[in-house]
Amino acid sequence: MADGRILALDYGKRRTGIAVSDPLQLIAGGLCTVETRQIKAFLTDYLAKETVACIVLGLPTQTTGEASENQQRVRTFAAWIKQQFPATDVEFYDERYTSVLAHRAIIAGGIPRMKRRDKALTDEVAATIILEDFLESRRQRG
């Protein structure tokens, strides 16, 4: 994979959680959550400032393995990314259970109950989990 950061997106109908790796592609960290209607402007700005080798999109799949209702929106968005930023790789990563895992991580982190209701925090943590899993799967592949 080319040099630069890896960006992971938990693309949702209302909000998109965003996580980013360090330039060496070793560590994942939450970046922010933006309203989905603003994600194209955010990406355009971010990619103008940072070197991003790959954008990983969480691919929403039902527990049965079938496509979820949001999957077509994610694929359409991926096509836009490929058209706008042809030098940046786009990969999909199964995002099943990431919201549940994110909520558990927030609770385990001792976040107060009122802050836990912030769905934007859950989306950002879910994006971080997607990126952590993606990086780990890459390490295991060698």
pLDDT for residue 24: 94
Pick 127 or 2 by higher pLDDT.
127
Pick 90 or 139 by higher pLDDT.
90
- The CA-based angle 84-60-133, given to 5 degrees, is 85
Query: Hey, what are 134's tokens?
Result: 């993606």
pTM of the model: 0.84
Q: Which domain covers residue 77, as residue numbers?
A: 5-141
The DSSP-derived string for 93-124 is: EE-TTHHHHHHHHHHHTT--HHHHT-HHHHHH
pLDDT for residue 47: 97
pLDDT for residue 94: 84
Instruction: State how many domains the chain has.
Output: 1
What average pLDDT does the structure give for the chain? Answer: 86
84 contacts 55 by C-beta, under 8 angstroms: no
Q: pLDDT tens for residues 71-125? A: 889 999 999 999 999 999 999 998 766 666 666 665 666 666 655 566 777 888 8
Query: Hey, what are 1's tokens?
Result: 């994979």
**CATH number of the domain within which 30 lies:** 3.30.420.140
